[in-house]
Structure 1
Amino acid sequence: MSSPNQGGEREKLISKLPAYLQQALKVRAAQLQTDMQDAVTAGIQAWRASSEQLPTVDTAGAASFGTFLPEGLYDAFKEDCRDRGVSYIQGLAQSVALWLVEHPADLDAEPHTRRIIVCNQKGGVGKTAISAGLAEALAEGSIAASGGALETASEAAADGLRVLLVDYDAQGHLSHQLGLKAIPAGEESLITHMLHREQAKHSLLDLTVTIEGARFGGRLRILPAAFDAFLLDSGLTVFRGPRHATLERALAPIEEHFDVIVIDSPPSLGLAMDAALYYGRQREDEKPGSSGLVIPVEAEDTSAQAYGMLIQQTDSLARDYDIAIEQIGLVVNKFDSRRGYIATSSLDKWKALGTPPVLAVVPDLKEQREAVRKQRPLLDYAPDCDQSHQMRKIARAVKTA
C-alpha cells in the first residue's frame, strides 16, 4: 500500500522483502553511504528500465518492509508488475537484488563510523534537542518512521542505524532529559578516558546506556554526562600529549560498535570544543560530508554572531592541523513566524547562505517541552508531531550528505 508522505514529495511504501535482502540492502547502503530509500528508488527505476527477464527471487518468509518513494513511482511500479505478471513483492525483491548487483561494495575502502558534532557557541539554541532528535531519527527503523505498526522485534530492527549519543556538555541537560543522572565526580567516565586513559578499568561501552523504545530496536545508546566535565578545559591545558585528539582517543576503541556517533557539544569555544571539532574532521579515505558539523541556530540576530565565532574557530583549527572540517548543515530551531519580521527575515538570510544548507526548520511547539518534562525521547513520545518529522528530515540529509 502507499499513502501520501509529509509535503507530498514522497509516498510511503509498506510491503514485504526477504530478511536476507533487507540485511544486504542495509549493509550495502551503509558501505556506500547511501540512504536506503534512495537505493530502493534506484533499484525500482532500474527494474522498470530493464528489458531482460530477471531471475525469480525466493520470497518465502518475506518480512514487513517500509520505505519512501518519489510521488507516483509506486503506482507506475505496480502497473509494470501487472504487465510483467509478477507480484508486487516479487517485483520489489527483484528491484533490490538488481540494485545490489549494480552497486557492489568497495571492498578496498575501510568503512568509517560517521561522527556528527552538534555545536554552536551560543547557548539556548537547542543543541541538546537537535542532538537527541537526530540520533533518535537515525536509529529509528523505516517501518516505524513511516507510521507502520511494529509487530515483531525483527521489524523494529529493520534498517535503523546503531547510534551512540554522547553528552559532552558538563551541564548534562541531555542526560537529564532522557531520565539519566550524570556520572558522579571521581567515577570513571568519558573524561577519565580522555585525560587519564591509563587509569581506566572499563571499556567506555560499559558506561553507555540503552535508550528504551520499540522504535529504536535497542540500537540507540547514550554515554551520560560527567560532573568532571566542568574541569575538562583546565585538564586539557596541562595534558601531556595532543590535546586536540583526546576525544578521538577516548571514543576510537568503541567506534566499531556504532554506525554513527552524535556529539552534543557544550556552548564553548575552549579546548574541549577543539577536541570535538577535530573528532568530526574528514578522515583519510572517508567520503566528503560523511562526518562534520550540524549547527543549530535561531532566526534572530545573535545566532548569526555566534555562528561567525564558531566558524572562525573551525577555520583556525583546520589551518593549524591541515584538516577538513565540513559543515553538513544548519538547523533553524524553535522557529515561530508569529514573532514577525525579525524571525522571517532571519530565516531568509539563513537560507540565502546556500552553503552550508538549511537542513530543516524546526517549529517551536509544545511536544518537545512535554517530552523533556516526561524524560522521554521525542520520537517515542510524539512520533507524528511536526518536530519529529523535521528530525527525520535532518537525519535523511545527514545520511545522504
Structure 2
Amino acid sequence: MASPYPDGDREKVASKLPSALQQALKVRAAELSLDIQDAVEAAINDWRHGTSGGAEVDTAGARSFSTWLPPGLYEQFKETCTDRGVSYTQGLAQSIRGWLDANPSPQHGARGTDPERKIVGNQKGGVGKTAISAGIGEAYAEAGKRVLIVDFDPQGHLSEQLGVPQIEPDHDSLVSHMCGDGSGDLRDLVVEIKDPRFEKRLHVLPACFDGFLLDAKIAVVAMQKRGFQKEAALELALRPLEADYDVIIVDCPPSLGIAMDAALYYGRRRRGEAAGGSGVVIPVLAEDSSATAYGMLAQQIEDLCEDLSLDIDYLGLVVNLYDSRRGYVATSSLDNWKSLGDPKVLAVIGDLKEQREAVRKRMPLLSYAPQSDQAEAMRQVARGATR
C-alpha cells in the first residue's frame, strides 16, 4: 500500500522484509552515507531492469518495513513481480539482496576480503574442539583482529568455559535465525569477553539449548519452504554480522548431520577468496579411534564438495592432549598424523594443567597463562591456519 509524501514527490510504501536484510540495509546505507529510501529506490530499479530477479531469498519471518519511493515506482515494481511470478515480499528481498551484493561494505573493501571463517570440527567428542576454538580465537584477538567465536555445540562447553550464559529454550538464538524465526538482531546476542588483553576484540555468540533439535528443525524448514537450502542456513544467519569481524570461528558439535554440513558450507572457499584463509581445523588425538573419526569427517567433506561443487580447504590438524608417556600407541599415532602431509599438523599440544585450570576459573587461557606452552601452541595454530 502507498500514501502521499508530505511534499508530494514521494509516496510511503508499506511492505515486509526479513529482519536480517533490514538490518544489513540500514548498516550499508549508513556506511555509504545514503538515505535508506534512496538505497531502496536504486535496488528496485536495478532489480526491475535486470534480466532476472536472481536467487530466491528466504523470507520466512519477514517483518513490517516501510519507506518512501517516487510516485508510481511501487506499482511498476508490483507489475514486475507479477510478470516474474514472485510475491511482493520476495521481489523486495531479491532487490535488497542484489543491491547489497552490488554495493559492498567499505570495511570489506578496505580489508579486501570476507572474514576468514575457521570451522573447528571432528565427529569424535573429547578431542579438544572447544579448547582449540577458544584458544585460536584468543590468539587472533590478541594479535589485533576482531574475532567472533560461535558456540555451535548445544552442549555449550565453550560458552560455559568463558563464563557466558547459554541461551534458554524458546528465546531468540542462532538456531531461530537459522530456521528463519529470528525475532531480533543477532548482534544483540553477541557477548564481549571483557579482558584488557583483547581490547574489546573478542566476542562470543552463545550456545542455545534448542541446538539439540537443530537437525530436525532444519529438515522441517527445508520441507516447508521451497528453495530453502539447509546447508546455507548458518551462512544466512551469520552474514549480517560479518562486516564486524576479521575472523569468525565456529566450534562444532561432534556430529556428521545437517548442523555439520551447514558449518562446512559456511567455511567453504567463496568466489574470489584465496585458498587457505577459510576452511576446517581438525583437532585429533594420538590414538586409533581418532583416526577413524577423522576418516568419517573427511568423507563428509568430500561428499559435500562433490554434491554442491564446493572447495573446502583443510587448514590443518591439531594433535591435542598428547603425552608420549602413553607409549607406542601415542608415539606411532603422532607419526602417522605427521606423515599425512596434507592436511598438515599445525601443532602438537601437550596434556598440561594450564588449560584445565583456565576452564575451572572461567578465564581465557591466553589471559590465565599467557606464557604457557599451551598458550604458545594456540598462537602457533592461529598462525598456521591462515593464509
TM-score, with length taken from structure 1: 0.67
Residue 275 of structure 1 pairs with residue 257 of structure 2: no
1:260 positional shift: 0.5
Amino acid at match of 1:194: M
Amino acid at match of 1:169: D
Deviations 1:379-401 (CA, angstroms, capped at 9, x unpaired): 010101100000000111123x3
Hey, what does 1:136 align to over in structure 2?
138
Q: In the aligned structure 2, how far is the partner of 1:346 from the partner of 1:268?
A: 23
Q: In the aligned structure 2, how far is the partner of 1:293 from the partner of 1:326?
A: 6
Hey, what does 1:229 align to over in structure 2?
211
Q: In the aligned structure 1, how far is the partner of 2:268 from the partner of 2:363?
A: 31
Residue 387 of structure 1 pairs with residue 374 of structure 2: yes
Deviations 1:130-189 (CA, angstroms, capped at 9, x unpaired): 000010001003xxxxxxxxxxxxxxxxxx100000000010011111112210000000
Give identity over the alignment, percent.
58
Residue 183 of structure 1 pairs with residue 185 of structure 2: no
Deviations 1:312-341 (CA, angstroms, capped at 9, x unpaired): 000000000001011000000000111111
Hey, what does 1:300 align to over in structure 2?
287
1:2-401 aligned within 5 A? 110-141=112-143, 160-196=144-180, 199-239=181-221, 240=225, 241-399=228-386, 401=387
Q: Secondary structure at the match of 1:299?
A: coil
Q: In the aligned structure 1, how far is the partner of 2:364 from the partner of 2:291?
A: 29
CA contact (8 A) 1:109 1:285 kept: no
Q: Secondary structure at the match of 1:206?
A: helix
1:201 positional shift: 3.0
Q: Secondary structure at the match of 1:249?
A: helix
Amino acid at match of 1:220: L
Q: In the aligned structure 1, how far is the partner of 2:237 from the partner of 2:132?
A: 23
Amino acid at match of 1:337: S
CA separation of 1:234 and 1:379: change in aligned 2, threshold 3 A: same
Q: In the aligned structure 2, how far is the partner of 1:387 from the partner of 1:107?
A: 35
CA separation of 1:216 and 1:288: change in aligned 2, threshold 3 A: same
Q: In the aligned structure 2, how far is the partner of 1:109 from the partner of 1:397?
A: 20
1:108 positional shift: 10
Q: In the aligned structure 2, how far is the partner of 1:182 from the partner of 1:109?
A: 32
Which residues of structure 2 form unaligned runs of 5+? 1-107
Q: In the aligned structure 2, how far is the partner of 1:347 from the partner of 1:225?
A: 32
Q: In the aligned structure 1, how far is the partner of 2:361 from the partner of 2:112?
A: 41
Amino acid at match of 2:164: L
Amino acid at match of 2:362: Q
Hey, what does 2:63 align to over in structure 1?
none
TM-score, with length taken from structure 2: 0.70
Q: Secondary structure at the match of 2:204?
A: strand
Deviations 1:87-131 (CA, angstroms, capped at 9, x unpaired): xxxxxxxxxxxxxxxxxxx97995111100000000000000000
Deviations 1:173-229 (CA, angstroms, capped at 9, x unpaired): 111111122100000000011002xx4232111110001211111100000000100
Q: In the aligned structure 1, how far is the partner of 2:206 from the partner of 2:125?
A: 19
Amino acid at match of 2:189: L
1:307 positional shift: 0.1
Q: In the aligned structure 1, how far is the partner of 2:111 from the partner of 2:383?
A: 23
Q: How many aligned residue pairs are there? A: 275
Amino acid at match of 1:389: E
CA separation of 1:108 and 1:165: change in aligned 2, threshold 3 A: closer
1:237 positional shift: 1.1
Which residues of structure 1 form unaligned runs of 5+? 1-105, 142-159
Q: In the aligned structure 2, how far is the partner of 1:386 from the partner of 1:233?
A: 38
1:371 positional shift: 0.5
Q: In the aligned structure 2, how far is the partner of 1:314 from the partner of 1:376?
A: 33
Q: Secondary structure at the match of 2:117?
A: strand
1:362 positional shift: 0.6
Q: Secondary structure at the match of 2:306?
A: helix
Q: Secondary structure at the match of 1:216?
A: coil
- Deviating 4+ runs (over 3 angstroms): 106-110
Q: In the aligned structure 1, how far is the partner of 2:265 from the partner of 2:112?
A: 20
Q: In the aligned structure 1, how far is the partner of 2:109 from the partner of 2:351?
A: 45
